[in-house]
Amino acid sequence: MDFNRKKLRLGDVLVNSGVITAEQLQKGLELQKGSGRKLGETLVDEGITTEENIAKALSSQLGYEMVDLQDISIDEEILNLVPPNILKKHTMIPFEYSRTGMNVLRVAMSDPMNMAAMDDINIITNLQVEPVVATPRDVMLALDRYYGQAEVNSALEEYVKEKTSQMAEQEDIYSDDINNSPIVQLVKTMIEQAVRQRASDIHIEPMEKQVRVRYRIDGALYEKATYNISLLPALVARVKIIGGMDISEKRKPQDGRITQVVDRREFDIRVSILPTVYGEKIVMRLTSKNALSREKSQLGLKPHDLQRFDHILKNPHGILLVTGPTGSGKS
């Protein structure tokens, strides 16, 4: 079968499937101009449709299967077929051989009409590509799960080896080394993975012989990684630098703020650093800036409660108290 020659425009697919109207398509195309974004990204960013609706439309209109990657375990052999940088470039991941033959590779793609992506895999693996539709978020989560730590860990091993030999005579390691790629990449990847897993907090905790990284997801803490304790000073210094804190102060608690863009969404990250027995502990609270600006109608109030709320707001003076435990949704 020839899987990879269905040439259609995404806008036509979405209009034909009823996901968006012709007017919404025109608006999306106008917003896309000069933005450097793809049409699908523009439509999602502007709230015109969702990633799930786009994926369902592609699946039905092109006749491709839609897959949920979180329910699939990918064999090591398939993971080694294509370099992760190629997969991230095209937002895709191969997950199994086709049932019709071992020379056909099933690939989950956010854009199954991307001919260049399929050609890349065909050239690298010498296998035919069978496109399968998945949402961009599902693909990025799968890439994080299977490839996220491998590249960072290899770079960090080299970093730790170099620093261990210098520790005796070099007390201050917060120099230009802090801006080298392993530490920058580690902190960046840590935040990106936390966002994609919908974590609300990142805890970086020094222990006697290691540094433990935990994410708070739906109120519960899950351990995600551990690193050599010798990495802690550089890790803390990197967070202090991007958070606008004093890297020379190690004995007092400090607070800072970081802004980072993940998957085209801007996140405001509040950082707290606290000295402990084994070193400085870091807690980062992740908040999407888009989530901080909503219409009153999106707050979940019933119509009659919304009318009462509007009436209260018309008073010339007063105070509104929003109370609740951590993580209850006050912000």
Is residue 284 pLDDT above 90, yes or no?
Answer: yes
Q: Give the pLDDT of residue 11.
A: 87
**CA atoms within a 13 Å half-sphere pointing along the CA-CB vector of 220:** 2
CA dihedral 84, 143, 137, 326 (to 10 degrees): -130
Domain boundaries, the chain: 10-134, 139-290
- Do the two domains 10-134 and 139-290 of this chain adopt the same fold? no
Is residue 3 pLDDT above 70, yes or no?
Answer: no
Angle between helices 181-196 and 136-166 (to 10 degrees): 150
Return d(Cα 124, Cα 122) in angstroms, integer.
6
What mean pLDDT is reported for the chain? 84
Burial label, 238 (beta-carbon count in 10 A; 0-12, 13-18, 19+): buried
Residues 60-79 have a mean pLDDT of 89
Contact 282, 271 (CB under 8 A): yes
* 1 token code pair: 């079968």
Percentage of the chain exceeding pLDDT 90: 35
Question: pLDDT tens for residues 210-261?
Answer: 999 999 998 899 998 888 888 899 889 999 999 999 998 999 999 999 999 8
Contact 284, 202 (CB under 8 A): yes
Q: Tell me the three state secondary structure of residue 102.
A: strand
Is residue 149 pLDDT above 90, yes or no?
Answer: no
Residues 163-177 have a mean pLDDT of 52
Is CATH 3.30.450.90 what the domain over 139-290 is classified as, yes or no? yes
What residues contact 240, with CB distance under 8 A and at least 6 apart? 246, 247, 254, 256, 273
DSSP sequence for 195-233:
HHTT-SEEEEEE-SSEEEEEEEETTEEEEEEEEEGGGHH
- pLDDT-derived band at 139 (thresholds 50, 70, 90) equals very high
**Least confident span in 151-165, 208-222, 238-252, 281-295:** 151-165
**Which residues are registered as beta bridge partners of 279?**
276
Residues 66-78 have a mean pLDDT of 89
Is residue 279 pLDDT above 80, yes or no?
Answer: yes
Q: Which segments of the chain does DSSP mark as H helices, in order?
A: 10-16, 22-32, 39-45, 51-62, 76-79, 84-90, 115-125, 136-166, 181-196, 232-242, 303-313
- pLDDT-derived band at 292 (thresholds 50, 70, 90) equals low
Residues 71-82 have a mean pLDDT of 89
Q: Give the pLDDT of residue 171.
A: 46
Helices (H) and strands (E) in the chain, counts: 11, 9
> Sheet of 279-288: strands edge to edge?
220-228, 210-217, 201-206, 279-288, 265-276, 254-262
Return d(Cα 239, Cα 257) in angstroms, integer.
10
pTM for the whole structure: 0.68
- For 7-22, letters b (16+ CB in 10 Å) and e give eeebbebbbebebbee
Place of tokens 């219409």: 295
Contact 47, 132 (CB under 8 A): no
| Closest listed residue to residue 263, CA positions, set 67, 86, 38, 57 | 38
- pLDDT-derived band at 167 (thresholds 50, 70, 90) equals low
Return d(Cα 31, Cα 266) in angstroms, integer.
18
Superfamily of segment(s) 10-134: Type II secretion system, protein E, N-terminal domain (3.30.300.160)
Angle between helices 232-242 and 181-196 (to 10 degrees): 70
Q: Give the pLDDT of residue 99.
A: 85
What residues contact 184, with CB distance under 8 A and at least 6 apart? 238
Instruction: Classify 260 in phi/psi space as left (phi over 0), alpha (psi -120 to 50) or beta.
Output: beta
**Least confident span in 48-57, 151-160, 272-281:** 151-160
Is residue 196 pLDDT above 60, yes or no?
Answer: yes
